[in-house]
Each structure stands twice: as C-alpha cells, then as structure tokens.
Structure 1
Amino acid sequence: MENEYIRTDEVTEVCLLAGKIMLQNGAETYRVEDTMTRIAAAFGILHSHSFVTPTGIIFSIDSSETTRLIRVSERFTNLEKVAVVNDISRKISEKKLTVQDACERLKEVEKTKYSFPVWVQIIAAALASGCFLIMFQGKWIDFLPAVITGGVGFCALLYFQYLVEIKFFAEFVSAFIIGLLAFLLVMSGFGHEIDKIIIGAVMPLVPGLLITNAVRDLMAGHLVSGISKGAEACLTAFAIGTGIAVVFSII
C-alpha cells in the first residue's frame, strides 16, 4: 500500500510538472489537461482529474486522497518547450520512459532556456515590422524606418519587462516609444507614412498567440480560461493603443 502511494505521488508530480511547463510557455488549456491525463493513463492511472486555468493547475487521482495545486504566476511564449514536453508525453505513452526518467527529463526542460539570443529576437522583430508594413500596403521607401522603429520598440519591450514587473506597463511604454520615433522619422523626412510605420512596428507587440488560445479554449468549452485569456489580450491591446494615442495627443 505504501509503495502504491509513493508511485501515485510520483505520477502526480510528473503530471503537474508537465502541465506547469506547458501552461507557462503558451500551451492551450485543453492541451495541458489532455497531456496530464494521457501521462497518468500511461502509468496505469485511468481515473485522474485536472482543472487548469491561466494562473493555476489542480490535479487529483480517484485512488488518492491528496489533491495537488500549482500556482502559475509567470507566462511566456516558448513553443519549443511545449513541443519538447509533448515529445516526452509520447515517449511515456510508448512505455519508453519510467516515472523517474520522465521527472528528470521534465526538470531539465524547466531549467533549460529554449530561446534565441536577445539580439536575434530584436533583429527578427525589426525585420518582421518591415514585412508587416509591406503587407499593410505600405511603400518600400518606409521599409527601413519601420525596421528601425520596430527594432527599437521591441528592444524597449524586453528592457521594461525585465526592469518593471507591472503587467502591461512594458507594452504601453514600448508603444509610446514606437509612436514617438515614427513621428520623429516622418518629421525629419526619413519616413513618409506614419500610420503604416506605426502599424508595422507594433505588430511584434500584438498578443497573437494569446488571442488564438483564448478563442480555441472558448471553442473547446473552457470558458474560464478562454475569457481570462481574452481579457488579458484585450488589456495588452489597450495598453499598446494607449501608448500610441498618448503620442498623438501630445503632438
């Protein structure tokens, strides 16, 4: 009986760790719950229950009296970690990993940073800004101003996210810097269409994954997660819009 309790506790730890990593790095709520259920079933626990929200995970097993809760206070966008956890889940289902091996692998994934260097992220955001400008029917003459504005704005976003832990503050300041820089470039004659430059530059700040996950969760019936993610996406969009509006109100 004691060995069974220890094994159940280990499986619960693996399920919660996998769910936490996925939820923190941009996975949908239904995917987190499905992965946790599949891992538990692969280890012989067929009757498990999970309740996932953007800020926490509750997991329980019928044969155990203990219900575990994990708080998730920080969320990022790192789909590489989600893919790695999915791969570990498949190997568990195929009986290629034991409980101990899976736990060790997941702890390594949690500690490892599967992200590109900051300079690569800034360059990618800058180039994406220029491409979005062309996509929104901007002129090629404004491509370089959009690249500069988008790169500086994304750099400001990363800096203020590291400096201040207040939610939505980094998006507001970044959007303000983008609007101000776009205005200065147009006034100096280097840029021409300020609206297209701003639209292209703010696109790397737009919470696209968050909006997609909110809609997907609502379609899957996860109303609490869908509404909360939708509210977070709306507040982020509001912060970006407010930053641009402040610039236009000043000038």
Structure 2
Amino acid sequence: MNDTAAVDEQEPIEVCLLAGKIMLQSGAETYRVEDTMTRIANALGLAGSHSYVTPTGIMFQSDDMRWAKLIRIVERTTDLQKVAAVNDVSRKLTSRDVTAAEARSLLMDIETSRHAYPVGLQIAAAAISSGCFALMFQGSLSDFLPGVLCGGLGFLAFILLHRLVKVKFFAEFTASFLIGIVASLLVMAGIGRELDKIIIGSVMPLVPGLLITNAVRDLMAGHLVSGLSRGAEAFLTAFAIGAGIAFVFTIL
C-alpha cells in the first residue's frame, strides 16, 4: 500500500520532468520550459514548485519534496511540433481535461514519436532552399542547380555523420568542407558561375538560426547561464562551418 502511494506521489513529478525534457530536447527556450513545468506542477497540485533548467539538465523540486530531482539532457534537436504538443498537454492539464496518468501517457507517446518530417523530405527542402538562397544572394540562374546539389549533399553528409559521430562540430565541419569541394568542382567544370554565392546559399541550412534566437531570448529573459551556453554553441557551429569552407580555399 505504501509503495502504491509512493508511486502516486511521484507521478506528478515525473510528468513535470518528462514535459520539460521533451521541450528542451526539441529546441524550446529555457524560460518556456520552466514556465510550462510550473503550470503543470500547479495543475497537478504541487505547491511551491521550482525548476532550474540549463541546456544539459533540468532540476526540479516542490515544497512537498524532501530533495530535488535531476535529469540529464544529452541529445538536442529542433522539433517544434513536439514543443507544441507538450504545450497542448499542459493546457489540457490546466483545464482538468486529463489526469496525471493520462498526461504521462500522452507525453511518453510524444517522446517516442518520430520527427514530423522524414529525412528524405528534410534533405529535399534543404537542397531547394539552398538553390533559392543562392539566387537571393544575387547569384545567377546558372547557380541554382549547383546550389541545390551542394546544399542537398552537405545536409545529407551532416545527418549521416552526426549519427555516426556524436560530436556535432565534426559533422558540421565535414559537411561544410564537402559543400566547398563540390561547389568548387562544379564551377571549374563550368556548371556554376559564382562560387561565393553557391557556397553561401548551400551552407544556410546548417546555420544555427534557432540557437542564436534562443540564446538572445534567454539572455533577455534573465537566464544568463543558458543564454551564454547556447550562444557559445551557436558560435562553435558558425566556426565549424567557416573553418570547413576556409580549409577548402586553403587547399585549392
């Protein structure tokens, strides 16, 4: 009987932590994660809840707990559909449409669900957008197809390498290096005209736009640790992209 009561007491805490974990892994801002966890805790009757969120971990405690609970965040990606789904569960809890057990089941389904878009569609979107970026940066029409090819190959290389090697810097460096090599070869073969426009357009899908946005928003919201760490991650990503392209110009 005591074991059952203990499980029932832990369930609201697990719901809060699972919601925060999914949101943080899917690219949500720090203040949004903390606000959602607080709203869920209030809806589940956890008085005086406190959460401390960083890009690599979440610490949660309420007045009913004798100790804080910590979970680690290892993988981070961009999936705003999961963020919206967790927010929907939070609203249902606040309006008492679901119980804690039902909310936990919904969150577990959200966590195990696949990305909203298949990998093939992501690569196709990256390729087409790369060609459009090449045109947007005042490239010629003959630079569109090289931009599509370089952008698609670069994004494919990034996905495959990131699966094999968990060091994101290496995957981004290698992808940008491949983009530079392929773009240079295409221009030498006369398929493309302006090398700089092709390269700039092709690396745009790798640019850490969401990281930079979240870093600025976290800093403005007063989350200095998260803001600085996200900013450092965005800087390393930008450095990896630039270093890969610079290495191509060095060897050619």
Is TM more than 0.5 here?
yes
CA deviation after TM superposition for structure 1 residue 114, in Å: 2.9
CA deviation after TM superposition for structure 1 residue 5, in Å: 5.4
2:182 aligned partner:
181
1:190 aligned partner:
191
**Superposed CA offset, 1:174-209 (max 9, x none):** 000000000000000000000000000000001111
- Please state whether the residue corresponding to 2:76 is helix, strand or coil: coil
1:144 aligned partner:
145
Residue-pair matches, total:
251
1:80 aligned partner:
81
Q: How does 1:130-169 map to 2 (within 5 A)?
A: 130-169=131-170
User: Could you tell me whether the CA contact under 8 Å between 1:33 and 1:51 is conserved in 2?
Assistant: yes
1:238 aligned partner:
239
User: Could you tell me whether the CA contact under 8 Å between 1:8 and 1:64 is conserved in 2?
Assistant: no
Counterpart amino acid of residue 120 in structure 1: L
The separation in 2 between residues aligned to 1:120 and 1:197, in whole angstroms, is 21
**Superposed CA offset, 1:57-86 (max 9, x none):** 000011210310000011011111111001
- Please state whether the residue corresponding to 1:33 is helix, strand or coil: helix
The separation in 1 between residues aligned to 2:60 and 2:196, in whole angstroms, is 48
**Superposed CA offset, 1:85-140 (max 9, x none):** 01111111110010100011111111111331211111100001011112212112
The separation in 1 between residues aligned to 2:35 and 2:83, in whole angstroms, is 13
- The 3 A distance-change label for structure 1 pair 45 and 4 is farther
Q: Say if 2:25 is the partner of 1:21.
A: no
Q: How does 1:1-251 map to 2 (within 5 A)?
A: 6-251=7-252
CA deviation after TM superposition for structure 1 residue 165, in Å: 1.4
Identity within the alignment, %: 62
- Please state whether the residue corresponding to 2:134 is helix, strand or coil: helix
- Please state whether the residue corresponding to 1:242 is helix, strand or coil: helix
- Please state whether the residue corresponding to 1:189 is helix, strand or coil: coil
The separation in 2 between residues aligned to 1:108 and 1:84, in whole angstroms, is 10
**Superposed CA offset, 1:17-53 (max 9, x none):** 0000000010000000000000000112231000000
When normalised by structure 2's length, the TM-score is 0.96
Counterpart amino acid of residue 84 in structure 2: A
User: Could you tell me whether the CA contact under 8 Å between 1:5 and 1:64 is conserved in 2?
Assistant: no
Counterpart amino acid of residue 147 in structure 2: A
Counterpart amino acid of residue 244 in structure 1: I
Give unmatched runs, 5+ long, in structure 2.
none
When normalised by structure 1's length, the TM-score is 0.97
* Greater Cα shift, 131-140 or 197-206: 131-140
CA deviation after TM superposition for structure 1 residue 167, in Å: 2.8
RMSD: 1.4
The separation in 2 between residues aligned to 1:174 and 1:144, in whole angstroms, is 18
Counterpart amino acid of residue 135 in structure 1: M
Counterpart amino acid of residue 105 in structure 1: L
CA deviation after TM superposition for structure 1 residue 11, in Å: 0.8
Counterpart amino acid of residue 141 in structure 2: W
